[in-house]
Amino acid sequence: MNNQEIKDALAKWFANQKQWSTRKQFANSIGIPYSTLKKYFSGTHFPSGRNLQKLYTATNLDCFKQKSKVNQKSINKEAISKAEVIKRLLFILNEELEYFKNGKAEERDLLRNILSGPDVGYITALLDSIFEEERFKDWLIMNTYKFSGK
């Protein structure tokens, strides 16, 4: 796909999405400088690295999909689907946590009262260990916690 096709796909996607009313809001939300995002919308630059990943996570446009390190044909479709869902959930979680990051102490206290500390610790440890297979195997052996979701 060339820059013009990416420009067109991005413009069409943005026009149809309802989450952000301005491109600047979109840029701030996904963590790409607005000046950089404008270059993608104008077709003068093609995103790479982290920005490519951020755009794919936010838009789910195939033109931003990176080649996986793993041959995805050898992985079942359920695993791919679940991995994509987790990626989107992480993006959403980050967006929601931004509110509390920039909010008042009382609002963060409310969040702490609603969330289960052990559940947060469990998910954090799981996500941290998932990136190294040996560490993940150790985590599986040591873990006895059952997520409560309360």
CATH of the domain at 56: 1.10.260.40
Residue 117 within a domain: yes
40 and 84 both lie in a single domain: no
Residue-range definition of the domain harbouring residue 9: 3-64
Contact between 53 and 66 (Cβ < 8 Å):
yes
Closest CA to 60 of 3, 23, 16: 16
Predicted confidence at residue 51, as pLDDT, reads: 86
In the three-class reduction of DSSP (H, G, I as helix; E, B as strand; rest coil), residue 100 is classed as helix
Contact between 24 and 86 (Cβ < 8 Å):
no
Predicted confidence at residue 75, as pLDDT, reads: 63
Number of domains within the chain:
2
Look at residues 64, 97, 114 and tell me which one is the last residue of a structural domain: 64
Neighbours of 88 (CB within 10 A): 13
123: confidence class by pLDDT, cuts 50, 70, 90: very high
Residue 47 within a domain: yes
14: confidence class by pLDDT, cuts 50, 70, 90: very high
pTM: 0.49
Contact between 27 and 39 (Cβ < 8 Å):
no
136 CB-contact burial (10 Å; exposed 0-12 / middle 13-18 / buried 19+): middle
37 and 88 both lie in a single domain: no
What mean pLDDT comes out for the span 1-7?
78
What mean pLDDT comes out for the span 1-6?
77
Look at residues 20, 45, 64 and tell me which one is the last residue of a structural domain: 64
Task: Write out the two tokens for 14.
Answer: 């943005």
Look at residues 64, 94, 109 and tell me which one is the last residue of a structural domain: 64
Q: Look at 38-47, 67-76, 124-133 and tell me which has the smallest mean pLDDT.
A: 67-76
Residue 148 within a domain: no
Residue 93 within a domain: yes
17 and 76 both lie in a single domain: no
101, 105, 109, 115 alpha-carbon torsion, rounded to 10°: 0
Sequence-ordered list of residues with C-beta below 8 angstroms from that of 44, at least 6 positions apart, any chain? 3
